[in-house]
Structure 1
Amino acid sequence: MSITAAPKQETAPDPTPPPPPLPNPSTGSANPAASLPALWGYLQPALNHIVRSPTNNTSKPPAIDVSYHMGVHTAVYNYFTSQSEQAAPGPPTGLRPDASEKAKASGTDLYEQIDRFYADAARDLFLGAPTDDTTLVHYLVPCFNRYAAGAQSVSRLLNYVNRHYVKRAVDEDRGWLRLADVLDAVARTIQEDDTREKIQKRLRERRTEELKQWGYTEGAATAVLSQAEAYAEAASPPDRVVPLASMAYRRFRIEVLEPLLMVPKMKGKGKRKKPPANGDKPPMPRGRLARAVKELLESDGGDDEERKKLAGELAMVLKTCGVKMDHPLRKKLDKYIPPKEGS
């Protein structure tokens, strides 16, 4: 993927047409579902085309041919089916421990391969970031929009992974919020005579408390609940199983945003400098993205409304990728997010 920093002056739109749909690659007599390397060899060109191809339209990713789309769906379905059949336990005496594990984690290999794909794609975007703080935000926002559009398209293409693997993993307590995460807090409120239903109710209440940190409110529409959960999924550690779109946003946070948000360590072990005479705290070092935001909002000249719009878009990038609301930069930027219609 190639995203360059937006120029400060307006330019005419690039007339370059979008790349044509990627045709279905010939596999000959080979079966793409025979093994993970075979399946990945078939999938990877589609994923690279959708997520990483250069394009001037940051909101609509390049397409793949309809026959290739159907071929991917069929290959993934057949791969999961064959894995399930191979991992099906036989008689108790002949069941190997590793076969039992495989039956439980069928599809983990493909899920982890997709995660590595997003890690590599996001890392390339980080390495392509401009070194000049004045253009960093102008690079980052369209860069994320392009990446996110591709991630949504891949999520639809590989929806069977979400339906077959992710849903089962969440049911097995391997999702973004696990029983162990909330057990201690819930255990402190459990009474000796509590029924199973009461305990389950407290667990649901605890989950709701977590989602409230991402914008959910009691009685809100289902869409608001789903969006809050998507933010929480993106904020989770990389060992948690989440839907593919949330996985992509999580990788963007880990590989792109967190390095840019990182505050440099103070050098030297000498004596601390005395605080200013007026009693103010000495200025603390800032991460690259914080410096870039300061440059964006405080620079002279340019379109003030455009700067605020860009700040609001960056705020949504941080939120979408799971940067928590108590982060100083989110606190600074969230006020630039335009209110939703009707609010």
Structure 2
Amino acid sequence: MLNPSVGTANPSASLAALWGYMLPALNHIARSPTNDLEKVPAVDISYRMGIHTATYDYFTAQAATAVVNCREKQMARGADLYMHLDKYFMDLVRELHLGAPEDDTTLVQYLIPCFKRYAISAHSINRLLNYVNRHYVKRAVDEDKGWLTLNDMFHAVVRSIREGSGREEILEKLKKKRMQEIKKWGYRDGGSPQQLEQAELCAEAASPLDRVVTLEALALRRFRTEFVEPLMIPPRMKKKRAGVRPVTKYQMNPTDGRLVRAVQRVLEAQGVDEVTRRGLASDLDEMLRAVGVHGTHSFRKKLKFLARDPHDDQ
């Protein structure tokens, strides 16, 4: 996608101007049809640089003028763009959710490639707008507004203070507590920086909507709240009929939501071999992890069980 002409207009003059300038690129990345789920539609380098420059100028515009409370005004500007991006991801995911087939048997075949396309777009947008992460998100995290706050670690802090620990000791305990939380998302001691980054991304995606997280995690979190969680809401229970439904190899709880029922239908379908079933269960488990559904969730436990190779137990 080429750099659109803006004439003499300044894209960094206002939020409306900046948003109007970058929106075609966001839509091109996230909404353009593609047959390659591993690669997003390309944006011309001059357009990418233009967006980076306009975003930088927008954030630093207040610094160029000697205004009172300059830092607070910059943060406000960062927050407004951040909220626009959050709403963009929310609207995008709701569109994807509305496009989901009503037939449970084809839901899973829609969901997996849909998520892969969305996730790689989120990663690309995160890179395109990385200045938002470096300027706004990092500062918000430093102000204790990130995915893991001091309030979350309250007991560790209080215990350290009561023990008379010094500042360095308290910071070390907080660092250990943070690592404990990241390990809940698959990271292991000695893992690579990429594995650490991926685990923290999952932890960010699992955070409440009021926490400030990186743009990639912001997108993944919206996929959870606007798509995955609605599919996992238990159905309204109808009056129990006489008779008992036969138990199958892949039986799920009848009170589970539509996604669980859809998976069960696929797993029970004729002509689906064990390798395909394991691959399907593995892909779904990885999707749930990526959007912030914890490994202790009953559905993820079931998927992990179905994804395992029985030969590994021998």
Counterpart among 29, 33, 42 of residue 21 in structure 2? 42
State the distance in 2 between where 1:214 and 1:337 align: 18
Tell me whether 74-83 or 36-45 shows the greater mean CA deviation: 74-83
State the distance in 2 between where 1:283 and 1:239 align: 32
Change over 3 Å in CA distance of 1:145–1:72 after alignment to 2: same
Check conservation: 1:214, 1:231, Cα contact below 8 A.
Answer: yes
Aligned AA for 2:22? Answer: L
State the distance in 2 between where 1:253 and 1:43 align: 25
State the distance in 2 between where 1:333 and 1:38 align: 46
1:164-215 Cα shifts (integer Å, max 9, x gaps): 1111111111110011111134324543422122222221222122112111
Tell me whether 328-337 or 224-233 shows the greater mean CA deviation: 328-337
Tell me whether 181-190 or 157-166 shows the greater mean CA deviation: 181-190
Aligned AA for 1:45? Answer: P
Paired residue for 1:296?
Answer: 266
1:239-266 Cα shifts (integer Å, max 9, x gaps): 1111111111111011110000111243
Spell out the pairing of 1:19-168 with structure 2 (5 A cutoff): 22-85=1-64, 89-90=67-68, 101-168=72-139
Give the SS at the match of 2:110: helix
Counterpart among 186, 195, 209 of residue 224 in structure 1? 195
State the distance in 1 between where 2:121 and 2:220 align: 11
Paired residue for 1:264?
Answer: 235
Paired residue for 1:170?
Answer: 141
State the distance in 1 between where 2:119 and 2:63 align: 31
Aligned AA for 1:70? Answer: M
Shift in Å at residue 102 of structure 1? 2.4
Give the SS at the match of 2:287: helix
Following TM superposition, the consecutive aligned residue runs of length 4 or more in structure 1 with deviations greater than 6 angstroms are 272-276
Shift in Å at residue 218 of structure 1? 3.0
Check conservation: 2:233, 2:258, Cα contact below 8 A.
Answer: yes
State the distance in 2 between where 1:226 and 1:151 align: 15
State the distance in 2 between where 1:327 and 1:39 align: 41
Paired residue for 2:158?
Answer: 187
Aligned AA for 1:60? Answer: K
Check conservation: 1:73, 1:160, Cα contact below 8 A.
Answer: yes
Identity among equivalent positions (%) equals: 54
Shift in Å at residue 29 of structure 1? 0.8
Q: Are positions 1:308 and 2:311 aligned together?
A: no
Change over 3 Å in CA distance of 1:133–1:274 after alignment to 2: closer
Root-mean-square deviation (CA, aligned residues, Å) is 2.4
State the distance in 1 between where 2:220 and 2:290 align: 7
Check conservation: 1:35, 1:79, Cα contact below 8 A.
Answer: yes
State the distance in 2 between where 1:208 and 1:80 align: 32
Q: Are positions 1:326 and 2:308 aligned together?
A: no
Aligned AA for 2:267? Answer: L
State the distance in 2 between where 1:136 and 1:212 align: 31
Consecutive unaligned residues of structure 1, counting only runs of 5 or more, are 1-21, 277-281
Please report the TM-score for the alignment, with normalisation by the length of structure 2.
Answer: 0.89
State the distance in 1 between where 2:16 and 2:74 align: 20
Give the SS at the match of 1:295: helix
State the distance in 2 between where 1:35 and 1:104 align: 15
Change over 3 Å in CA distance of 1:149–1:102 after alignment to 2: same
Change over 3 Å in CA distance of 1:275–1:214 after alignment to 2: farther
Shift in Å at residue 156 of structure 1? 1.2
Please report the TM-score for the alignment, with normalisation by the length of structure 1.
Answer: 0.81
Shift in Å at residue 224 of structure 1? 2.2
Consecutive unaligned residues of structure 2, counting only runs of 5 or more, are 245-251, 310-314
